[in-house]
Amino acid sequence: MSVSYRQPGVVLTDRRFTVPLDHDDPAGETIELYAREVVASGKAHQDDLPWLVHLAGGPGFGAMRPIGRQAWLDRALREYRVLLLDQRGTGASTPATRQTLPLRGGPAAQAEYLTHFRADSIVRDCEAIRREVTGGAPWTVHGQSFGGFCAVTYLSLAPEGLETALITGGLPSLDAHADDVYRAAYPRVERKVAAHYARYPQDVARARRIADHLLTHDVTLPGGYRLTVEAFQSLGILLGTGDGSHRLHHLLADAFVRTPHGFELSDAFQEQVQNLLSYAGRPLYALVHEAIYGQGERPTAWSAERVRAEFPQFDAARSLAGDAPLLFTGETVHPWMFDCDPALRPLRETAELLAARTGWRPLYDPARLAANEVPVAAAVYHDDMYVDTAHSLRTARAIRGLRTWVTDEFEHDGVRVAGPRVLDRLLALARDEI
């Protein structure tokens, strides 16, 4: 039974759907999807509103939990009824975590189960629920980051279900292996770190001091996370957002406190780092992050870890042995995370099996994309730390009719910080109004 309630300016309805775990076996096991329907208060009884389904970033992140007409929602609600979908395994949909995955059996069964949590399954979920939500009418998809990857898969697998596709920071390479993705990523991350240190030169010494402390001390955070120097470096994931450099600066500034035993990492610093690094709320991100690039027989095989070895400037011990600034890392998943993070430790063998897996299905159909007839507009953020700009522009040229807005005004989270402007621009592009 659907439940409706109100927030300032909107009416929200909780909706639940049952879909096959494996869409190739529609009579087999099912899972539940949760979505939140959002409509402007004055249009709640307007039955002819078109629909927009929002696919969040990740993988492994649930949809936004709105408070009124936040961010891009304000623009969307002027003309759409919006469905905020918790993609399978995330949010309030059937979960996939260290607590629930053992219900599947051992690591091999868990890994097999998780092969159904990629973009192709998410798109088929959307098609299954679209018929119930819209009565069969096509809808608009807005894909942010990984949600944009899903939107390109949607254009490949089921373009008949789409009225329009709007993509923000999420045009994937159609054929790059994970190794190609990370070889392009590490130099971008290095540029972001250099820009951070140019803004906050005092952070060079602060980061080196923390790294040196971690190389000489065993530190376990309050929630059980083992803070190694590599884990500390991974805080660089913040640098891909509009306010991330400032947040990292404030975090580094208050790292140490004097105690009877000398200087130690403060409780406040440790608590913040625990919250930033723990995957307790999003374990799928770590489990299937590299699998989102899997196509064909070649395994991903811990790509980010292997490729990092090609960039020795990221080695903390080497930096500290000289006078080079410590380099942070970005949006990468490594096998040591499954040792450091108590939310991931029970899933280490499952992750190893996914990393070794071959025979991944194709996620994109270049021929179908080249013949695309769905209006598509994409915001490409210049030097986006999370998604390679060159890869995105190459894909943009491969999708017939796609229009791009390339901008350096925003980082990867542009649709969050300036949502109405970003969505307005994309809608105008898709409609050939500009």
Query: What pLDDT, on a 0 to 100 scale, did the predictor assign at position 1?
Result: 60
CA atoms within 13 A on the CB side of 20: 13
Specify the DSSP element, H or E, that contains 372. Answer: none
Question: Are 322 and 281 in the same domain?
Answer: yes
Q: Please identify, among 333, 356, 379, the residue that sits at the C-terminal boundary of a domain.
A: 356
Per-residue pLDDT of the chain (434 residues; tens, 9 = 90+): 688 999 999 999 999 999 999 999 999 999 999 999 999 999 999 999 999 999 999 999 999 999 999 989 999 999 999 999 999 999 999 999 999 999 999 999 999 999 999 999 999 999 999 999 999 999 999 999 999 999 999 999 999 999 999 999 999 999 999 999 999 999 999 999 999 999 999 999 999 999 999 999 999 999 999 999 999 999 999 999 999 999 999 999 989 999 999 999 999 999 999 999 999 999 999 999 999 999 999 999 999 999 999 999 999 999 999 999 999 999 999 999 999 999 999 999 999 999 999 999 999 999 999 999 999 999 999 999 999 999 999 999 999 999 999 999 999 999 999 979 999 999 999 999 99
Residues 157 and 248 in one domain: no
Cβ within 8 Å of residue 321, ≥6 positions away: none
The residue among 308, 323, 356 that closes a domain is 356
Residue range(s) defining the domain that contains residue 41: 3-175+364-430
User: Where among 307, 328, 356 does a domain terminate?
Assistant: 356
Scan for tokens 């069969």, then name that residue.
136
Specify whether 257 is located in the same domain as 161.
no
pLDDT at 3: 85
- Whether residues 153 and 277 fall in one domain: no
In this structure, what CATH number is given to the domain that contains residue 412? 3.40.50.1820
Q: What's the confidence (pLDDT) of residue 2?
A: 80
**pLDDT, tens digit, 9 for 90 and up, residues 284-315:** 999 999 999 999 999 999 999 999 999 999 99
Q: Do 36 and 100 share a domain, yes or no?
A: yes
Both 31 and 81 in one domain: the answer is yes
Q: Say yes or no: 171 and 187 in one domain.
A: no
Based on the structure, what is the number of domains in the chain?
Answer: 2
Residues 146, 209 within the same domain: no
Query: What's the rounded Cα separation, in Å, for the pair 124 and 161?
Result: 10
> pTM score > 0.95 for this model?
yes
What dihedral do alpha carbons 154, 155, 158, 160 form, nearest 10°?
A: 130
Let me know whether 171 and 182 are in one domain.
Answer: no
Please report, for residues 72, 191, 326, 337, the alpha-carbon distance to residue 305 in angstroms, rounded to integers and kept in the order given.
35, 19, 18, 11
Residue 7 has a pLDDT of 95
Could you list the active site residues? 145, 384, 412
Residues 297 and 371 in one domain: no
In this structure, the answer to whether residues 372 and 289 fall within a common structural domain is: no
Q: Is 54 exposed, middle or buried (0-12, 13-18, 19+ CB in 10 A)?
A: buried
Q: Are residues 84 and 164 in the same domain?
A: yes
